[in-house]
Amino acid sequence: MLIKKPIAIALTALSLSFTLHVSAQVPAGYSADYAKIVDGAKKEGKLVIYSATDSKAVEPLLKDFGTLYPGIKIEFNDMNSTEVYNRFISEAAAGGATADVLWSSAMDLQFKLVSEGYGATYKSQEATAIPAWANYKDSAYGTTFEPLAIVYNKRLVNADEVPATHDDLLKLLHTKAEKFRNKVTSYDIEKSGVGFLFITEDAQINPQFWNLAKSFGDVGLRVQSSTGTMLERISSGENLIGYNVIGSYAQARAAKDPSLGVVFTKDYNLVLSRVVFINKSARNMNASKLWIDYLLSKRGQTIIANESQLYSLRSDVTGTSTLASLTTQLGGALKPIAITPALLQYLDQTKRLAFLKQWKEAAGKK
């Protein structure tokens, strides 16, 4: 996640309302009875979203959604991925008001909530337009196709030092340990839900993973709980390389910051998809359905790719931040994290603690 504004976003609800006076229409190709959902949403007049997606990236989506469905006030709560999970669980247990929709980059935590019965089943009108791996039983949907990246300081890291593969990174840390000592950063996997997800996925794919983890320890890995902090420190030169950084955020920052370079790995490159689901007890069920369909629609996905820069999941969307453009660039190296029960593997407390212990020993994060 990017750095949150200290009060308005991180600690309290960010309420954004777009009430534009145009007539809402049933999207072309939708079933005839969809008008009932639209009418029901109008009567509800509100939608509460808990999300680990930066509010600046979401604003174009909220605004466009408002042009389609005027009169629906969207309360968008921007938190980090662990906060989304903990806040929802706490409020649901207390029986009080909570989110209608949860939308988070912590795919495993989202899946855990759905698997525990918190998710409503809703077959989106757009379900057939997204990859099968991004739809779990019409209850949890992937919405983006965001590659993880290695980010580096272009002023201080030579072109021939930029790793193209995970093995390249391992060799770099071995051969130039002094240059990169205390200069490599990644997520604090105890505090960052997405960071824990990424590193456990890495461990399952990369046969040299624990050697890489040891190399991180040897050079004194610096960990952070947010993407924004990592990008700031790489830009300033305090750190030189960032590992497993969310690529969409990194590229958005690099477009404005000449100090930052972003590279995707050619041996394999993990891909994140932000998972969205409807709370089974949503107070605004119809408005929630509209939001799901909108996020997955070609219109919504086009904004995701070209304005929010979060990378579109649909193959029929054009632009630079799309599944199609990444496939052209990386082909079979792309490894999307599928929405399946396998996401729960390392959320088992025994396995989680064992992994954290091994990681701390290898990476020197005791």
Is the pLDDT at 314 greater than 90? The verdict is yes
CA distances from 214 to 83, 304, 354, 358 (A): 30, 37, 16, 10
Give the model's confidence band at 365: pLDDT under 50 very low, under 70 low, under 90 confident, else very high. Answer: low
Over residues 75-109, the pLDDT tens digits come to 999 998 889 999 999 999 999 899 999 999 999 99
Choice among 85-94, 111-120, 356-365 with the minimum mean pLDDT: 356-365
Mapping DSSP to helix (H, G, I), strand (E, B) and coil, where does residue 248 land?
A: helix
Q: Are strands 241-246 and 146-153 parallel, antiparallel or unpaired?
A: antiparallel
Distance CA 149, CA 158 (A): 17
pLDDT at 13 over 60: no
Which residue is it, tokens 């840390």? 173
- pLDDT tens-digit profile of 243-258? 999 999 999 999 999 9
pTM (two decimals) = 0.88
pLDDT digits (tens, 9 = 90+) for 148-205: 999 999 999 999 999 999 999 999 999 999 999 999 999 999 988 889 999 999 999 9
Residue 2 has pLDDT above 50, yes or no: no
Helices (H) and strands (E) in the chain, counts: 13, 14
In this predicted structure, what is the pLDDT of residue 12?
33
37-74, pLDDT tens digit by residue? 999 999 999 999 999 988 889 999 999 999 999 989 99
- Are the CB atoms for 103 and 81 separated by under 8 Å? no
Q: Residue 72's pLDDT is what?
A: 96
Asked whether the predicted pLDDT for residue 21 surpasses 80, the reply is no
DSSP secondary structure letter of residue 32: T
- How large is the average pLDDT for residues 302-329? 92
Q: Considering only CA atoms, which of 92, 56, 99 is closest in space to residue 75?
A: 99
Tokens found for residue 25: 């229409």
DSSP string, 134-194: GEETTTEEE-B-EEEEEEEETTTS-GGGS-SSHHHHHHHHHHTTTTTTT-EEEE-TTT-HH
